[in-house]
Structure 1
Amino acid sequence: MKLAGAVGLAALGLLLADGDPVPLALAVAAAVGLVGWAVRDLVAPVRLAVDAGGVTVVRGYAGRRHLPWDAVETVTVDRRSRFGLTGETLEIDAGESLHLLGRADLGASPTEVAEEVLAARP
């Protein structure tokens, strides 16, 4: 969907340009951003993995970092309301680092994922 959106933005920029390079440049910049976001999803589709040894989270664009269970201090869900909508974020506190994952990163409700992470913790 993100790649299709990037193509649509580029096409919209071409339609709106009509000799003016600014709309085309803005549309191309937005399309490049969407392509980058789509590539990230293709390169590192799994943002969180849990096993008996600990938690593996994505670090940076596509790197991974394994956190052993003894390094994980807390696993919580932060809920915030804004403009009538409630957003949830899974927070994994590893002392020196805090890892935040949203619904789009997890592919499921952060509350459900937090329950599964806590159930897997020895």
Structure 2
Amino acid sequence: MSGQPWRIKPVLPVTKGLGAVAVMVLVTAFGRDEAVQWVLAGAVTIGCALWALRDLVAPIRLAADAAGVTVIAGFARRVWLPWAQIDRVRLDRRERLGIATQLLEIDADEALYLFSMHDLGTDPHDVLAELERLRAESSKNAGDQ
């Protein structure tokens, strides 16, 4: 990925990995000989481990330059989108039960890519400002030609 990258914070995969270990430790220490407990603990452990693995395989969730953006889609597939293909970039703010969340939305054709503060490693508002600057730079360069 070229251009300005935004990546997850390194603490996230570590925390998810520790969560996977904690589940197995707890079920081993306090679990009974019930198969359902072991199956559920195994499923949660595998889910947390895969979630942490995704963070290790694809830590950069978004990168942008004057030509366009590269986003992560699915588990770790990278998709490059030229600015001309992007319909809208905006910040979605919601408040529910006193907790405010912000998501950066990139709307491109039939796909919608959402990025939280945890995905970007910084405030989505700052990323939006940088994306708008890069998009304006792209438009200016296209007009000069």
The percentage of aligned residue pairs carrying the same residue is 44
Matched residue count: 122
Deviation of 1:13 (Å): 1.1
- Displaced runs of 4 or more, over 3 A: none
1:1-122 map, 5 Å:
1-121=15-135, 122=138
Q: CA deviation digits over 1:45-76, x for unaligned, max 9?
A: 10000012100000111110000011111110
Q: CA deviation digits over 1:65-104, x for unaligned, max 9?
A: 0000111111100011111100111000112211111111
TM norm structure 2: 0.80
Provide the alpha-carbon RMSD of the alignment: 1.1
How far apart, in 2, do the equivalents of 1:113 and 1:106 lie? 8
Relative contact order, higher structure (CA 8 A, sep 6+): 2
Structure 2 unaligned regions, length at least 5: 1-14, 139-145
Structure 1 unaligned regions, length at least 5: none
